[in-house]
Amino acid sequence: MATTAPPKTKQSSGLAEFVRLNANRATIVAFFHVVVPFVGTVVAVALLWQNPIGWVEVALLLGLFFPTFLGVTVGFHRYLVHRSFRTNRVVEAVLIVLGSMAAEGLPIFWAAGHRRHHALSDTEGDPHRPADGLLHAQFGWLVKMDSHPDYDKYARDLLRDPYIVRLNRLYPLWLALSLLLPFAVAGWTGLLWGGFVRIFLVHHIGWGVNSIGHVFGNQPFKTNDNSRNLWFLGVLAMGDGWHNNHHAFPHSAFHGLRWWQIDLSGYLIRLLEATGLAWDVRRVTPAALKARNPSGAKVNNRDYLAGGTTTTASRAIE
């Protein structure tokens, strides 16, 4: 039976319109991902006046900061998105679980969004281009419906892998683990420092690559975008802050291309490779580097280049 839709009525307020447009599960979940660690960090800092932080809280903060951040940069970014090395299913699961514990969204959502970023960098359709505002690029894009990735286009290979899909589905469990673990060790202060403050730091240092990493810094390589190398983001964001290097050679397992470009994620991949836990590690060849670097700046970390000192087979990037 045919039904007639009720006549459209004008929304009574801007807020009602906002709720109508944004009231979907993904947006609400994203909102909590952004806001809860921020509020938790404010509470933790405010409580410092009464209860100075103890060594257990510091240990939880650092002990979870590095593994979960590396889970994002090595697991989500260099492995899932760019396939810059291969590994076994156990290491794959560990990396994806650790990355999920950073609370930046489902692994496949993260991967699809980032592939879209590379495909459309700094143009319309880039989920987080700074031209739409630095705060938008930092975290605002996460709670905007129109910024969600096109899964069919950007994550088809991941969605066809039942193992990755299963790890992806269990995301709420990894998220719970991320908060329950520090709570189990040190109670509420453990939850605040090892949970919320740690997640807040991983979030905003990592997301800084999307915002200021496309605005400030230098561009040794010519790329079709505004990506920059920003030294302190390179150090703090586990190597991902050498972002112009990365846009020039997206599939390289190493974002630091000179000896002084500290790249903790690259060091971890090298360690995995040396112990036989990673293989087919993708490296930039000297010829490709020279071709993309017309200024002729010297690059002298041969470990990062094809034909370096490692004996494991590697896939060269031409």
Give the list of residues 6+ apart from residue 213 with CB closer than 8 angstroms, or none: 227, 228, 230, 233, 237, 241, 243
| CB neighbours of residue 136 within 10 Å | 20
Q: How far is the CB of 240 from Zn ion (least distance, A)?
A: 8
Q: Residue 4 corresponds to which tokens in the numbers above?
A: 């007639």
CB of 141 to Zn ion, least distance (A): 13
CB of 213 to Zn ion, least distance (A): 6
Give the pair of three-digit tokens for residue 107: 């692994």
Q: Closest CB to Zn ion among 111 and 199?
A: 111
CB of 14 to Zn ion, least distance (A): 33
Q: Which is nearer to Zn ion, 121 or 178 (CB)?
A: 121
Minimum CB separation of residue 128 from Zn ion in Å reads: 8
Residue whose CB is less far from Zn ion, 147 or 227:
227
Taking residues 103 to 142 in sequence order and writing x for each that binds Zn ion by CB under 5 A, - otherwise, the string is: ----------------------------------------
Q: How far apart are the first and last CA of the chain?
A: 62
Query: Contact, 283 vs 252, CB < 8 A?
Result: yes
Query: With respect to Zn ion, which residue has the nearer C-beta, 179 or 281?
Result: 281
Task: Provide the token pair at 230.
Answer: 């920003």
Nearer to Zn ion, 142 or 179 (CB): 142
Min CB(3)–Zn ion separation in Å: 48
Report the distance separating Cα 176 and Cα 115, nearest Å.
Answer: 27
Residues contacting 87, CB < 8 A, separation 6+: 79, 95, 272, 277, 278, 279
Measured from the CB atom, the residue of 110 and 196 that comes closer to Zn ion is 110
The Cα–Cα gap between 160 and 148 comes to: 20
Task: Report helix, strand or coil for 282.
Answer: strand
Residue 200 near residue 139, CB atoms below 8 Å: no
SS3 state of residue 100 = helix
By Cβ distance, which residue is nearest to Zn ion? 227
> Cβ 81 to Zn ion, closest distance in Å?
6
Which residue bears the tokens 């807020």? Answer: 15
Site for Zn ion in 247-276 (CB under 5 A): none
Total chain residues near Zn ion (CB under 5 A) = 1
Do strands 281-284 and 86-87 pair parallel, antiparallel, or not at all (unpaired)? unpaired
Site string for Zn ion, 206-245 (x = CB under 5 A): ---------------------x------------------
What span, in angstroms and rounded, lies between the C-alpha atoms of 31 and 200? Answer: 13
Q: Which residue, 179 or 205, has its beta carbon nearer to Zn ion?
A: 205
Six token digits for residue 186: 């040190």
| Residue numbers 76-95 binding Zn ion by CB under 5 A | none
Which is nearer to Zn ion, 114 or 198 (by Cβ)?
Answer: 114
Q: Report, in Å, the least distance between residue 126 CB and Zn ion.
A: 8
In the complex, the residues that contact Zn ion under the rule CB under 5 A are: 227
